[in-house]
């Protein structure tokens, strides 16, 4: 049986999944990725951990399905996370600066006068979330070394480019249009790196990877004496959008992971938005689809924090029952700005808050308020997508990611957003999107296998809850 293998390098784990040509999972391997927090607001990972755990999962998948049955490989990855390495040795030159990291906020503030130009060219607001300032930080640190490396021996890349380099033993140095569009160095109108932006961030352009369509031949991996092509690379949220919604207009998708990522495909139309991101949804056959997107920096990570840091939960699975145990949140609001607030607020220095505590507050109220805050943050973005795209009648929100398994949360999301929430039987859409993209390169129309498993219809307007949320935001 032929399979297509997807490498899904996420924020907190790496997975390698083999799909048959109908989009069904044949085999899966997963490893947790360590996270490091060397200073407040700093989040980083070891690039060698990202590579070694990926390689381990891939080798075990090959052993399980047989290398001769693998038609091609697709890569999807946590976006914006930035790595610098030496081309001649493959040695990382510093940590992988995670997308959540805020260490470059001051650098971004220093360039605030250029924000309008940057937004017009890249579709991105000036923020430490994106890769350019992270590359700049890594580059400046490397230049301080007494053994500084020459620019022509330096490589900058997001996680996809780093994995490709290692998988092909340094033969391929490339990325795709979706990941390039998140660097803040890529002109999404002209679909190329922008000379002025590279100069602004002091990034040598020759150190950046070649940009290809999402469905392309990126290189080959030697397995069992044969060459297996890498036929797709695509950012994780764009992969989920492709798996969930194909290239359909009128549907919003939300991936509930460490953060929450809400996105809608706008086709050939590049929607300009003051508060949201305009980005590239996918690149196929030399053309791109655009998307409008909002990113919530803290989504499922809030529930992890309640479990791991506060001990309020022993398992994330307990949260729905606790939320149901009380009639309301008891006046408690949580603003989970652990790494600032993302779209549509863009307040990088914001800190998390719990408001409205009284002697009658229980852990059930706190858990309920935490789940509500995830839905409310997402709704802030949904409302703007509806406003920015008045010609599209949005009725559905398709969901995936770990927290989408929480029925209580999904019903709250349907209520506050006034959309029908559709959760497929398989909520692991990112890997499927990468596999489907690779299948496209192979000339195969892979079924998305995202038949709806549960539908949540709006049951109430939640006006009081939304008013409480708006009041809480005034304290940020």
Alpha-carbon torsion (154, 95, 15, 411), positive or negative: negative
How many C-beta atoms surround the C-beta of residue 360 within 10 A?
8
In our burial notation (b when 16+ CB lie closer than 10 A, e otherwise), range 202-229 reads: ebeeebbbebbbbbbebbbbebeeeebb
Q: How far is CA 471 from CA 5, 53, 73, 355, in A?
A: 47, 44, 48, 10
Beta strands in 99-213 (DSSP E): 154-158, 174-176, 186-187, 192-193, 210-212
Total domains in the fold of the chain: 1
Cβ atoms of 131 and 107 closer than 8 Å = no
Q: What's the domain range around 98?
A: 3-234
- List the chain pLDDT tens, one digit each, 476 residues: 899 999 999 888 899 999 999 888 999 999 999 999 999 889 999 999 999 999 999 999 999 988 889 999 999 999 999 999 999 999 999 999 999 899 999 999 999 999 999 999 999 999 898 999 999 999 998 888 767 788 889 999 999 999 999 999 999 999 999 999 999 999 999 999 999 999 999 999 999 999 999 999 999 998 877 899 999 999 998 998 998 888 887 789 998 988 898 999 988 888 888 889 899 999 999 999 999 999 898 999 999 999 999 999 989 899 999 999 999 999 999 999 998 888 888 888 899 999 999 999 999 999 999 999 999 999 999 999 988 888 777 888 999 888 899 999 999 999 999 999 999 877 678 899 999 999 999 888 886 555 567 999 999 989 999 999 999 999 88
- Is the residue at 464 inside a domain? no
Q: For residue 100, tell me if it sits in a domain.
A: yes
pLDDT of residue 427: 64
Q: Is residue 385 part of a domain?
A: no
The predicted model scores a pTM of: 0.85
Q: What is the pLDDT of residue 452?
A: 62
Q: Is residue 53 part of a domain?
A: yes
Beta bridge partners, 216, equal none
Q: Is residue 129 part of a domain?
A: yes
Contact status, residue 179 vs residue 157, Cβ threshold 8 Å: no
In residues, how long is the chain? 476
According to the model, what pLDDT value does residue 418 have?
92
In a domain, 134, yes or no: yes
**Interhelix angle 429-441/236-245, nearest 10 degrees:** 80
Residue among 326, 322, 325 nearest 307 (CA):
322
Per-residue confidence (pLDDT) for residue 284, from 0 to 100 = 93
Does any domain span residue 382? no
Distance CA 234, CA 159 (A): 11
Q: Is residue 60 part of a domain?
A: yes
Q: How many CB atoms lie within 10 A of CB 333?
A: 22
Beta-sheet pairing, 226-235 with 219-223: antiparallel
Within 260-362, residue ranges assigned H as helices are 300-308, 319-324
- What is the C-alpha separation between 330 and 191, in angstroms, rounded? 50
Q: In this structure, what CATH number is given to the domain that contains residue 78?
A: 3.30.420.40
**In angstroms, rounded to a whole number, what is the distance separating the alpha carbons of residues 234 and 431?**
10
């Amino acid at each position: 049986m032929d399979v297509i293998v997807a490498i899904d390098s996420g924020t907190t784990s790496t997975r390698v999944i083999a799909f048959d040509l109908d989009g069904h999972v044949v085999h899966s391997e997963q490893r947790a990725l360590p996270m490091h927090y060397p200073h407040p607001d700093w989040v980083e990972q070891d690039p060698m951990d990202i590579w070694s755990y990926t390689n381990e999962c891939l080798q075990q998948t090959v052993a399980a399905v047989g290398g001769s049955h693998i038609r091609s490989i697709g890569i999807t990855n946590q976006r914006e996370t930035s790595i610098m390495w030496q081309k001649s040795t493959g040695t990382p030159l510093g940590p992988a600066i995670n997308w959540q990291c805020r260490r470059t906020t001051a650098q971004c503030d220093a360039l605030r006068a250029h924000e309008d130009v940057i937004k017009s060219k890249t579709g991105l607001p000036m923020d430490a979330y994106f890769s350019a300032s992270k590359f700049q930080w890594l580059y400046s640190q490397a230049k301080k070394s007494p053994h500084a490396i020459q620019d022509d021996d330096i490589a900058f890349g997001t996680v996809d480019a780093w994995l490709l380099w290692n998988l092909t033993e340094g033969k391929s140095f490339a990325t795709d249009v979706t990941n390039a569009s998140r660097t803040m160095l890529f002109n999404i109108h002209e679909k190329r790196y922008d000379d002025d932006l590279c100069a602004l961030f002091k990034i040598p352009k020759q150190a950046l990877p070649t940009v290809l369509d999402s469905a392309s031949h990126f290189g080959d991996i030697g397995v069992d004496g044969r060459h297996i092509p890498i036929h797709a690379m695509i950012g994780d949220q764009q992969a989920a959008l492709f798996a969930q919604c194909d290239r359909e207009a009128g549907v919003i998708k939300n991936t509930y992971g460490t953060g929450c990522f809400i996105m809608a495909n706008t086709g050939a139309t590049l929607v300009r938005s003051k508060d949201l991101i305009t980005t590239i949804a996918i690149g196929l056959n030399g053309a791109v689809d655009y998307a409008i997107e909002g990113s919530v920096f803290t989504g499922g990570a809030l529930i992890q924090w309640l479990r791991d840091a506060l001990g309020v939960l022993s398992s994330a699975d307990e949260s729905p029952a606790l939320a149901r145990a009380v009639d309301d949140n008891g006046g408690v609001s949580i603003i989970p700005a652990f790494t600032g607030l993302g779209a549509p607020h863009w307040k990088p220095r914001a800190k998390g808050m719990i408001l409205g505590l009284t002697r009658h507050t229980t852990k059930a109220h706190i858990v309920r308020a935490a789940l509500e805050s995830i839905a409310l943050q997402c709704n802030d973005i949904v409302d703007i997508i509806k406003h920015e795209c008045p010609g599209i009648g949005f009725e559905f929100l398709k969901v995936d990611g770990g927290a989408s398994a929480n029925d209580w949360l999904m019903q709250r999301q349907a209520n506050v957003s006034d959309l029908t929430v559709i959760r497929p039987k398989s909520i692991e859409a990112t890997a499927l999107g990468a596999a489907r993209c690779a299948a496209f390169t192979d000339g195969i129309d892979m079924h998305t296998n995202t038949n709806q498993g549960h539908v949540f219809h709006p049951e109430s307007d939640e006006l009081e809850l939304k008013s409480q949320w708006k009041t809480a935001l005034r304290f940020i």
